[in-house]
Amino acid sequence: MRSCIWTATHNTITLHLVVELQISHLLRSLLATRDLNSALFNINWQSIYEHMKQKDINSNERKFSRHHY
């Protein structure tokens, strides 16, 4: 049970860090270019998507292992 809580907490913290990093890139780009469209284009949406996809895979693995042991 503790490992499930730790994994969920770790995934949430990691997601927050990934999003915070992208927001910081957004703000820096916005300050440099003063162009919101350009700044939004520079966000690495793929890294956020990949992290969310991995989080879903981990979640599904936990559900499976919880019901099949």
pLDDT tens profile 46-61:
777 777 777 666 665 5
Q: Is the pTM of this model over 0.85?
A: no
Residue 28 near residue 11 (C-beta atoms within 8 A): no
38 CB-near residues (< 8 Å, 6+ apart): 29
CA distances from 50 to 27, 58, 68 (A): 22, 12, 27
Residue 57 near residue 39 (C-beta atoms within 8 A): no
pLDDT at 36 over 60: yes
Instruction: Quote the tokens at residue 52.
Output: 């969310």
Sign of the dihedral defined by the CA atoms of residues 36, 41, 43, 49, in that order = positive
